[in-house]
Amino acid sequence: MKKIVYYLLITSFCAFSQTKIKPINPNGKWYFGTEIGINKVTSFSYDEGNTSVSIGGISEYYFDKHWSVQGRIKYMKTGVSFINQYSGWNWNWVKTTQDVASFSGYNRFDGQVIVIPIDLKWEYRIHKNLHGSIKTGPALNIEMKSTYNYGNVNYDTFSKTFVNMNFGYGFNYYLSKNYGIGLDFEYYFLGDSKGTTSGFLWNQTHYANNSITNLQLKYHF
Cα–Cα dist 30/219, whole Å: 8
Q: What pLDDT is stored for residue 101 in this prediction?
A: 57
Q: What pLDDT is stored for residue 147 in this prediction?
A: 93
Q: What is the pTM of this model?
A: 0.83
For residue 159, CA distances in Å to 55, 180, 202 come to: 24, 37, 24
Mean per-residue pLDDT, 201-218: 93
Flag whether pLDDT at 92 surpasses 90. no
pLDDT tens per residue across span 105-131: 788 999 999 999 999 999 999 998 999
Quickly state the pLDDT bin for 132 (edges 50, 70, 90).
Answer: very high
Write down the mean pLDDT value for the chain.
86
Residues ≥6 apart with Cβ < 8 Å to 73:
56, 57, 114, 115, 116
Q: Which of 30-34, 46-50, 98-102 has the lowest mean pLDDT?
A: 98-102
Flag whether pLDDT at 15 surpasses 90. no
Mean per-residue pLDDT, 34-39: 98
Phi, psi of 146 (to 5 degrees): -135, 125
State percent of the chain over pLDDT 70. 82
Q: What pLDDT is stored for residue 58 in this prediction?
A: 97
Phi, psi of 98 (to 5 degrees): -65, -35
184: closest CA among 211, 210, 215?
215
For residue 211, CA distances in Å to 28, 29, 151, 159, 188 come to: 30, 29, 27, 22, 6
Mean per-residue pLDDT, 49-64: 95
pLDDT tens per residue across span 165-202: 999 999 999 999 899 999 999 999 999 999 888 777 78
Cα–Cα dist 151/78, whole Å: 19
Higher pLDDT, 148 or 96: 148
For 197, half-sphere exposure in the C-beta direction (CA atoms, 13 angstrom radius) is 19
